């Protein structure tokens, strides 16, 4: 929408007003609209976000398979016990892997 309205020669403030009228006041700030207008003025044609640098994921398909095999061996396990076997993975990432990626859940609570 921003690119379309900018091509119609509307100012950033007018574009922001149009967006708020159609999508509501919480769609995006006027500063973000100004930033996108600046991008388009500088010749940017791609509307998708550019890739960003960041920490790569520690969890790979091989590691998930290894965690699953260890769970099947231990059967009654805790995240603390599992973290002793995988010291290079934080407990949070290990918990998310077990619960979300592998789909395990608690069967009984003590």
How many angstroms separate the CA atoms of 104 and 69, rounded? 13
Contact (Cβ atoms closer than 8 angstroms) between residue 20 and residue 2: no
Cα 74–Cα 59–Cα 85 angle in degrees, nearest 5: 30
How many angstroms separate the CA atoms of 10 and 103, rounded? 50
**Which residues neighbour 109 within 8 Å (Cβ) at sequence distance 6 or greater?**
none
pLDDT tens-place string over residues 59-101: 888 989 998 998 888 878 888 888 898 888 888 889 888 888 8
pTM over 0.85: no
| Whole-number pLDDT of residue 20 | 93
pLDDT tens-place string over residues 1-19: 888 999 999 999 999 999 9
pLDDT band at 108; cut points 50, 70, 90: low
Q: Read off the tokens for 52.
A: 């960003």
């Amino acid at each position: 929408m921003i690119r379309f309205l900018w091509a119609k020669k509307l100012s950033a403030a007018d574009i922001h007003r149009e967006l708020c009228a159609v999508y509501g006041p919480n769609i995006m700030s006027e500063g973000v609209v100004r930033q996108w207008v600046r991008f388009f003025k500088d010749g940017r044609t791609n509307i998708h976000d550019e890739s960003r640098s960041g920490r790569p994921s520690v969890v790979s398909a091989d590691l998930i398979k290894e965690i699953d095999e260890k769970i099947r061996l231990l059967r009654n396990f805790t995240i603390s016990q599992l973290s002793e076997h995988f010291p290079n993975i934080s407990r949070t990432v290990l918990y998310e892997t077990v619960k979300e990626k592998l789909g395990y859940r608690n069967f009984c609570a003590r």
